Every structure is written in C-alpha cells, then in structure tokens.
Structure 1
Amino acid sequence: MNSIATKSPQSKRLALGQLVDTAVSNYGLVLVVLLMIGVFAILKPDTYFTVDNLLSIATSQAIVALLALSILGVLIVGEFDLSFASILGLCQVMVIGLMANSSWSWPTACVAVVALGLAAGLINAFLVVRMQVSSFVATMGLSTVVGGLAVGYSGGMVVTGALPDAFYNLAQISPLGIPMPIWYVVIVAILLYTLFEFTSTGRHMRAVGGNRAAARLAGISISRALTVAFVIAGVLAGLGAIVSGSLLGSGQPLAAAGYLLPAYAGAFLGATTITPGRFNVWGTLVGVYLLGAGVSGLQQLGFAPWVQDLFNGAMLLLAVAFSGYLTRVRGGRK
C-alpha cells in the first residue's frame, strides 16, 4: 500500500504529461486556429468575430476544402496529383458554357462535367498504374493538356450567359442559415471519412501508402487502390467546378491555378493534427479553415492581396516541416 502511495504522485505527473503531450500533438493546430481567431477578434472586434464573417470565411474556403479533400486519397496512397485544379477550371467553363451557349439543361451539364472529372481521374490512373509514369509527371502533363483545353474552349475569356435559377440555387441558398457550399463540404467530408476509416477500400489505400511491397504481399490490389484515389480526385474536382460556377455565375479558365497551393497547404496542415502523421479528413478541414481565417484577418487589417500567397506558401512549408518533425519524434519513441 505504501509503495503504491509513493508511486502515485509520480504516476499522476507522468499521466498528466502524456495527456498534455497527446493534446498538443493531436489538437495543436485547432488551438492555433482558435488563437488566431481570438487575436483578429481583438484587433477587428466589429467585423471579424461575427457569425456573418465566420460563415463568409467557411463559404469562401469551401472550394479549397473540396479540392483539399479531393487529393486526400492520392496522398494517402503515396502519390501526387497536380491536375485537379486544371480539371476544375475546364469543368467550370464547360458547365457554364454548356448551359449558356449550348442550351443544355443544368442537370445534364452537371452530370457531364462530373463525368469529365471522372474520365480525367481514370486517365491519371491509367498513366500511373498501367504506363508506370511517375504521378508527378503524369498529372503535371495532364494538367497542361486540360488547361489548354479550358483556354481553347473559352477562347481565353470568362464564360458567361443566362443561367437557370435552379443552377444558382445549387450554391447560393442557405438552408438553416448555413450556405450550401458548407453543406457540400460537410457531406463530402463525412463520406470520405467513412470510406477511409471504416471500409476495406480505405484500409487498403492506407496500406498501399504505408508500405506498397507489404500490401502487395498481403494480396491487396495496388492498381485498384490507386485508381480509386485518382477517380475521387477527378470527381470532386468536377463537383468543385459546379459549386464554384454556381457561386460565380461564370466560368474562369485561368482562376483554377490559384487553388493548387491552398489545397495542398490545407491537406498537409491537416496531417499535423487530429491524427498527426496521417492525412485525414477532419484535420484537413481544420487546416483549410486556418488558411481562410488567417487571410481574412490579414485582409481586414489592410494587408495587400499578395499577402494571401505569402501566407499560404508559408503555411505549406511549416506544415511539411512540422509533419516531418512529428514523424521523427514518434519514430524515436518506438
């Protein structure tokens, strides 16, 4: 009994230390987001920390969030996709052009661009799986091709025209006071979380990303895991094009390039929180919102627009560095 009593304070301190370490490691980025919001709320109390502004941040980041979620599967299997932003650009000008210039109904046009995104994902998968082309090279090449098609289709101009009210309603209504783009992000996040965490396909994808040789020996289909990952990226890029087209009411072939860096920054930031060292859905949303909250605060303080790229780039570098640090620290403890 005395021995237990003697060890009890030390055990409690050890347990408390482990609890704090786990909390900081797993939820440090969440605390950073809350701290950032608190700082900007103090500096701009009348405009920043309001329900309208917080919803505006979440809405403005919805497309980035969808794209960051779209590449999670590719990152999980250990590959890269540099084409998703260009796919969004082509799909965006096409969904607007098909309705405004070719008189397609909005459901048909939406199905067509999602199918286009799926086809692009299959092309990436074919190049990587069957042709054994590096995913970096394959997706960069496809990105260039798709970007050229977007400029060719649009003539390098913003595509506009009369659009059905039902198409605008896809992103411009607010059920229960929450804008539709936020609902899309939540729904996609739940579906991907279920896929990655609770299905055999998700487990196989993580196994492929963790150790491809071991996964192959275990009988896991590498080609199937990679194909699923690239198809998810293409389909969600098509969905992002529909949502962004509905928000803007136009198709902008060159605007998609601005989504590449923020999407990757959000995904890599997400790998430092919730389940550190792993690309995960909820961490990605935290990372994306951190970017949006930071940029919104800086803009309200009067910083120049170019600060957004500076902030996003700095966050990506910090995310990659910190993710590597966490991996080394955890590896050293084993």
Structure 2
Amino acid sequence: MSETRQTAEGTGGGRRQINWLRIAEAYALVVALLVLVAIFGALKPAAFLSWGNISTMLGSQAVLVVLTLALIIPLTAGDFDLSVASVATLSAMTLAVLNAQDGWPLWAAMLVAAGTGIATGIVNAAFILYFRIHSLIVTLGTGTFLQGVVLWISGSMTISGLSDGLTEYVIITRLFGIPLAFYYALGLCILLWYVFEYTTPGRRLLFVGRGREVARLSGIRVERVRFAALIVSGFLAACGGMLYAGTIGAADPLSGLTFLLPAFAAAFLGATAVYPGRFNPWGSLVAVYFLIVGITGLTILGIQTFVQNLFYGGALVIAVALSQLVRNREPQDFN
C-alpha cells in the first residue's frame, strides 16, 4: 500500500514538474520581453521609458500586428501567404487613389480597398487548391503581380491628401495616451483568439494544420477550410493596409513591402510562446513587441539602422528552428 502511495505521489510530482516546465516554456518570451524593457530602461531611462516612446512603440506597430495575425491564419492550415505585404500596399494605394485623387467618400474607398484583399485571397486559393500549386509559388507570384499594379495605379509616387477622418481615428485620437490603432490590433487579437479556442471553424483550422489527411478522414472539408483561411488572410492584410494609410496619412508604393519579413519573424517567434507548438494570436502579439522593443532599444543606444535587418533576419531563422522543435514535441490533441 505504501509503495503504491509513493508511486502515485512520484507520478503526481512528475506531472507537476512537467506542467511547470510547460508554463515556463509558454511564457519565456513574455519574460524575455520584460527583461529587455528592464535592461533598456536601466540604460536609457529618460529616452526609453518616456511615455512618448512607449505610446509610439505601441501605436506604430499596430499594422505589423494586423499583418502578422493575417499571416498566421493560413500558416495554421499549413499554407504560406507571401502576398500579405503586397495586399496591404495595394489596399492602401487603392484607398488613396479613390479617396484623395478621385474624390470618393472614405467609406466607399475603404470597401473597394477591402475587396482587393478578398479578391486576392480568392485568386490565391484557386491556384493553390484547384491547380495544386504550392502556396509559396502562388503567393510569391501574386505578391509580385500586385506590386506591379501598385506602381501602375500610383505612377510610382506617394499619394497623400487622404480624408482627415482616417488619420483622426487611427493615429491622432488616443485612449490613455495610446493611438487607437493599437486598440484595433488588440481587438483583432482577442477576436482571433476566441475563434481559435472556442469556435468550430477555429478548431477545424487547427486540426487541418496538424494533419490534412487525418482531418479529411475525420469528415472535415479540408479544401474549404484552406480556401476560407486564404480569403480571411487577404481581407485582414487589406485592413492592415488601410490602417497603414491612416497611420502615415498617405500611401507609399514601396514601404509597405518592408512588413513581410517582420511579419514572418513575429509569426514563427509567436509560435513558441503562450501556446507553444502552434501559431496563435497572443504569441504573435508578444513577438511583435519583443522585436520592436529590441530594435528601439538598440537604436536609442546608438546602434546604426542596419540593426533592424539583423534583428528581423536573425529572429526569423531562430524562430523557425525553435517553433519546429516545439511543434515536434507537442501532442496532436485539440480536445
């Protein structure tokens, strides 16, 4: 009897130890973010910890958060979408051309801009699913094509003069000193978390990502799930583009493309946090601000601007390796 009790206690202790290890793994990136804040705050308290710098970091990265969240939806289903940055750029430019140049009402121009993202998602899904072409090839080609469209409709020039209402409700109006853009990104993060965790479509998406053939044998319409994921990705990328236009008050034909590498870095880095082993909204949010805190802190310390490329590129390679290791150790269970 005593041996049985000791065995049970040992088993329970092992379970408790494993749980603590999983918790430590899940929130390691959060701790790393806090450590970075503490280090840079100690080194440059007046500059780094100023409320102006903090609110700028939170508000300026809202676009990157939205694009990362758009990216993790097809990634969860096992597809890559390299066109998200191009969709965002096209959306912003469409909005600027229709509103600033052609005099369309802001709401109508925003509807058309959102439609460009949905249309791109449909095209991507059609080529990937019905022509059986790998998502990397399709979305790389689509993104390049869209960039040509952007240069064509803009004349390769930045277009300004957007309605004041857009910038007013994106970057100028603030809540607790933080631009509304941050709260839009945070609200989207909460929405996607709820969809992934508590809705049937979200659980199906996770199941498809773990194993398409198993999901198909379980009665899930895999192609339909992947189709929907690519469309939602395109739509959210277009929303990110409109948010970007509101942030800078204009549409630039090239600068939106710089979001692609950071979005991938944040997506894969986020897959090692909060819910290790799968792409998730909260992990992505933490990853975005981990990267921007590191870059901002190093810049304040006087490191040259090339640190941004080093940080994002290195983070992407390391994050992909870590997320792959974590995914291989995670149980295939979504109950």
Instruction: Give me the CA root mean square deviation.
Output: 1.9
Q: Secondary structure of 1:272's partner?
A: coil
Query: Residue 51 of structure 1 aligns to which amino acid in structure 2?
Result: W
- Aligned counterpart, 1:170: 169
Over residues 124-153 of structure 1, what are the superposed CA-to-partner deviations in whole Å (9 max), with x where a residue is unaligned? 111111121111111011011100000011
Query: Residue 170 of structure 1 aligns to which amino acid in structure 2?
Result: Y
Over residues 242-265 of structure 1, what are the superposed CA-to-partner deviations in whole Å (9 max), with x where a residue is unaligned? 111011111111112210000011
- Structure 2: gaps (5+ residues): none
* 1:273 and 2:273 correspond: yes
- Aligned counterpart, 2:100: 100
Report the CA distance shift for 1:7/1:132 in structure 2 as closer, same or farther (over 3 A).
closer
Contact 1:261 1:313 in 2 (8 A): yes
Matches within 5 A, 1:1-334: 14=14, 17-161=17-161, 163-172=162-171, 173-330=173-330
Question: Using the alignment, how far apart are the partners of 2:97 and 2:224 within structure 1?
Answer: 34
Question: Using the alignment, how far apart are the partners of 2:193 and 2:8 within structure 1?
Answer: 40
Identity of counterpart residues, as a percentage?
34
Superposed displacement of residue 50, structure 1: 3.1
Over residues 148-183 of structure 1, what are the superposed CA-to-partner deviations in whole Å (9 max), with x where a residue is unaligned? 00001111111123x322122121211343311111
Q: Secondary structure of 1:46's partner?
A: helix
Superposed displacement of residue 3, structure 1: 6.0
Report the CA distance shift for 1:122/1:329 in structure 2 as closer, same or farther (over 3 A).
closer
Over residues 49-98 of structure 1, what are the superposed CA-to-partner deviations in whole Å (9 max), with x where a residue is unaligned? 23332221111211110000001110000010000101111111111111
Contact 1:268 1:319 in 2 (8 A): yes
Superposed displacement of residue 43, structure 1: 0.9
Query: Residue 323 of structure 1 aligns to which amino acid in structure 2?
Result: S
Question: Using the alignment, how far apart are the partners of 1:203 and 1:83 within structure 2?
Answer: 25
Contact 2:121 2:235 in 1 (8 A): yes
Report the CA distance shift for 1:314/1:8 in structure 2 as closer, same or farther (over 3 A).
same
Question: Using the alignment, how far apart are the partners of 1:330 and 1:238 within structure 2?
Answer: 33
Question: Using the alignment, how far apart are the partners of 1:142 and 1:54 within structure 2?
Answer: 36
- Structure 1: gaps (5+ residues): none
> Structure 2 length as normaliser, TM-score?
0.93
Superposed displacement of residue 2, structure 1: 6.7
Contact 2:98 2:109 in 1 (8 A): yes
Report the CA distance shift for 1:144/1:46 in structure 2 as closer, same or farther (over 3 A).
same
Q: Secondary structure of 1:71's partner?
A: helix
Question: Using the alignment, how far apart are the partners of 2:214 and 2:9 within structure 1?
Answer: 44
> Structure 1 length as normaliser, TM-score?
0.93
Question: Using the alignment, how far apart are the partners of 2:81 and 2:214 within structure 1?
Answer: 24
Query: Residue 286 of structure 1 aligns to which amino acid in structure 2?
Result: V
Over residues 209-246 of structure 1, what are the superposed CA-to-partner deviations in whole Å (9 max), with x where a residue is unaligned? 11111111111111211111111111111111111101
Question: Using the alignment, how far apart are the partners of 2:155 and 2:101 within structure 1?
Answer: 13
Query: Residue 168 of structure 2 aligns to which amino acid in structure 1?
Result: N
